[in-house]
Amino acid sequence: MTTTDARPVATLGGAGQVLAEDEVRAFVRDALAGAGLDGRSVCVIVPDATRSCPLPLLLDAVHQALTGKVSKLTVLVALGTHAEMSADELTAHLGGDYDVLNHEWWKEDTFVDLGTISAEKVAEISGGLLREDVPVRLNRAVVEHDVALVVGPVFPHEVVGFSGGNKYFFPGVAGQEVIDLSHWLGALITSAGIIGTPGVTPVRALINEAAALIPSEKLALSVVAQSGTNALHAVAFGDTVSSWQAAAAVSAQTHVRYLEKPVRRVVSLMPPRYQDIWTAAKGFYKVEPIVADGGEVILYAPHVTQLAAMHPEIEQIGYHCRDYFLGQWDKFRDLHWGVLAHSTHLRGAGTWDATNGEHCRLTVTLATGIPEHVVRAANLNYLDPADFDLAQYEADPDTLVLPNAGEILHRLTSR
């Protein structure tokens, strides 16, 4: 099944450029003016606060371009399975008061059924890694509007290769079934094996297959943000596949840094946009490829006090490599596969067998506000943030310290 929304892509900027605000506003105005939206209802799907993105600028530009022309304009926050944003948080995040909805993924009446992707199709897409029917459910606000307009950034991503595009639907505003299946497929491939992979990965192909069932026209303002700032390198407008492709090409040049040799330790300094380890684990995903065997990744986030605010079961499961779960699949298969996937993504590569147990390639250390007994029970190493000496790590030639970690992928030139 393929999308029918294909249209020419308009682009602004590129790698190494920083766009002025008036350039961005003019681009958005002109792009939307030519999109044939007059008289139609538009649902604008945006990220939550866990991504760098100048949403106030973008939404204001969209609002100015469409107000008085469209019949209805609704903003929908793609939480995935993240925590709900409060009214005050939404106002600050979006930069104003809009007709806005949280994706209330915890409520069954949030969703409509779009159909099913067959087990045979899943097997074809996954190269035989999975063979399961998957019901496709989506936030009803998307299908109750004529047009779904995705507005959000593209970054290297541990599950799909590069984020953005149709990923704002699945998992952004999707039912649990597609979330679990897509994330577990990514876990089977492994984070290190898929993160920053250009083009249509198996997980991206699965997401696109689900998105083809959406009856609304699907458009996107896909942006490439300067990590940790409100600046943009590039903007692409078109359908959710081609605009994503254009932005991902720029992200691959902008958000990937290469090292010539592995390091023994990485210290990821996690910014406050990550409020639990469920999201702050990106400080591990983005550096796993550059750490030598037997090395360590320290996530320094003293503001974080929970492993997973919305998924407390991770405290019972703990963090383990993929083979730990596959080798004991009967024990774990009935749990949410998305939670299992998160577990493997943070623990990284490793082996497990019934005789020798689990052996992971790297040590993962949390220097957070999470109690020591919780961290150790979850199969992670603990460092009291009060004992964390940043100057010592910065002076260590075997340690790479990364401010504002979590968005820039690090790779070795040989990979």
Name the CATH superfamily for 10-254. LarA, N-terminal domain (3.40.50.11440)
Structure tokens at 194: 């898929």
Determine phi and psi for 262, rounding to 5 degrees.
Answer: -65, 160
Mapped onto helix, strand or coil, the DSSP state of residue 57 is helix
- Between CA 14 and CA 164 the distance in angstroms is 17
Which part of the chain has CATH 3.90.226.30?
A: 257-412
Q: Which residue has the tokens 């075997």?
A: 398
Q: What is the pLDDT at residue 97?
A: 83
Question: What are the pLDDT tens digits along the chain (415 aa)?
Answer: 334 466 789 999 999 999 999 999 999 999 999 999 999 999 999 988 777 889 999 999 999 999 999 999 999 998 777 777 788 888 888 888 888 888 787 888 889 999 999 999 999 999 999 999 999 999 999 999 999 999 999 999 999 999 999 999 998 899 999 999 999 999 999 999 999 998 999 999 999 999 999 999 999 999 999 988 889 999 999 999 999 999 999 999 999 999 999 999 999 999 999 999 999 999 999 999 999 999 999 999 999 999 998 889 999 999 999 999 999 999 999 999 999 999 999 999 999 999 999 999 999 999 999 999 999 999 999 999 999 999 999 999 999 999 999 999 999 997 5
Q: What is the pLDDT at residue 1?
A: 36
- Please give the torsion angle defined by the CA atoms of residues 344, 346, 349 and 352, in that order, rounded to the nearest 10 degrees: -50
Question: Are 281 and 313 contacting, i.e. CB atoms less than 8 angstroms apart?
Answer: no
DSSP string, 321-358: -HHHHHTTHHHHTTS-HHHHHHHHHHH-SEEEETTTEE
- Between CA 389 and CA 382 the distance in angstroms is 14
Nearest-CA neighbor of 342 among 314, 310, 368, 373?
314
- Between CA 282 and CA 288 the distance in angstroms is 10
- Between CA 274 and CA 414 the distance in angstroms is 31
Q: What is the pLDDT at residue 240?
A: 97
DSSP string, 348-399: -SEEEETTTEEEESSEEEEEESS-HHHHHHTT-EE--GGG--HHHHHH-TTE
pTM of this structure: 0.93
Cβ within 8 Å of residue 22, ≥6 positions away: none
Whole-number Cα distances in Å, 225 to 52, 58, 231, 235: 7, 12, 6, 9
Q: What is the pLDDT at residue 272?
A: 93
Nearest-CA neighbor of 407 among 209, 181, 229, 208?
229
Nearest-CA neighbor of 412 among 229, 287, 236, 243?
287
Q: What is the pLDDT at residue 248?
A: 97
Q: Which amino acid is at 95?
A: G
What's the order of all strands across the beta sheet hosting 363-368? Answer: 381-382, 363-368, 291-301, 263-269, 399-402
Q: Which CATH number fits domain 257-412: 3.40.50.12280, 3.90.226.30, 3.30.1370.60, 3.65.10.10?
A: 3.90.226.30
Q: Residue 334, by phi and psi: left (phi above 0), alpha (psi -120 to 50) or beta? A: alpha
Q: What is the pLDDT at residue 3?
A: 40
Q: What is the pLDDT at residue 201?
A: 97
Beta-ladder partners of 222: 152, 236
Q: Where do the H-state alpha helices sit in 41-112?
A: 55-66, 87-94
